[in-house]
Amino acid sequence: MSYRVQIPKGQWTPFRNEVFKEQLGSLEEKRAAALYLFLYDRAYHRPSKAVAATVRQLSRLLKMDERVVKKCLAELRRKELIRKIRSGVRRSRINKDVWKVPLAEVDLKQDSWTPIPRVLIQKYLPADPNTVLLPLLLYYQHMNWLNYSWVGVTTLSKRLNWSASRVRDSLRSMFDQDTWYSQNELQWPLRCRVVKNEKGERRRRFRVRAVHYYQSGKKRFVRLSAAFKNSSKTEV
Q: pLDDT tens-digit profile of 59-90?
A: 999 999 999 999 999 999 999 999 999 886 66
Beta-bridge partner residues of 12? 117
The Cα–Cα gap between 197 and 202 comes to 7
| Number of compact structural domains in the chain | 1
pLDDT tens digits, one per residue of 96-134? 899 999 999 999 999 999 999 999 999 999 999 999 999
Q: Which of 45, 58, 10, 53 is nearest to 233 (CA)?
A: 10
Beta-carbon contacts of residue 150 (< 8 Å; ≥ 6 apart): 140, 197, 203, 204, 205, 206
State the residue range of the domain holding 30.
Answer: 2-231
For residues 117 and 228, the answer to whether their CB atoms sit within 8 Å is yes
pLDDT at 95 over 90: no
pLDDT value of residue 3: 74
What would the mean pLDDT of 47-70 be, rounded to a whole number? Answer: 95
For the chain, give the percent of residues with pLDDT over 90: 83
Q: How far is CA 9 from CA 13, 232, 235, in A?
A: 9, 11, 13
Give domain status of residue 236, yes or no.
no
For residues 43 and 35, the answer to whether their CB atoms sit within 8 Å is no
Give domain status of residue 85, yes or no.
yes
pLDDT at 180 over 70: yes
Give domain status of residue 25, yes or no.
yes
Beta-carbon contacts of residue 138 (< 8 Å; ≥ 6 apart): 114, 116, 120, 208, 210, 211
Give domain status of residue 181, yes or no.
yes
- Which of helix, strand or coil describes residue 102? helix
